[in-house]
Amino acid sequence: MDRIIVALAADHAGFALKQVLKDDVVAQGFAVLDLGTDSEASVDYPDFGHAAAKALVDGRAARAIIVCGTGIGISIAANRHSGVRAAVCTDATAARLARQHNDANVLALGARLIGSEVARDCVRAFLATEFEGGRHSRRVAALG
């Protein structure tokens, strides 16, 4: 049976957190598509938000986790792609509700705003939660 693929991407500010989260994603039974960056050398966060979104749109990944300093810039880049619903989350409840109610397929995290344990909790909630559908389907469809 093929494992579900989760794309991971981060800029320089999110590199260290991405590396921590990579092991957690694998431990939860998912395969990882690491889209970089590969160091703390300065890079442009939009490049990595776009790369993660393209991996979803192209079908190379089912979900994505993206990290920059705040999660905001990289999520804006990802959300420019049709069918991508990136949610910036700062706790596990937000990550769970982003999946349940918004069918978010991208979790965006801010490495300068939350610690690694909170980020790990967010990832666990995001990957373990399914979209509820029902009344939420109409709202998600209205997003475009």
Find out whether 121 and 138 touch, Cβ atoms under 8 Å.
no
The active-site residue out of 12, 68, 89, 122 is 68
Active site includes 136?
no
Q: How far is CA 9 from CA 6, 120, 129, 140, in A?
A: 10, 15, 21, 24
Q: What is the C-alpha R_g of the chain? A: 14
The active-site residue out of 12, 81, 89, 101 is 101
Active site includes 50?
no
Spatial neighbors of 93 by CB under 8 A, at least 6 apart, are: 125
Find out whether 61 and 37 touch, Cβ atoms under 8 Å.
no
Q: List active site positions.
A: 68, 101
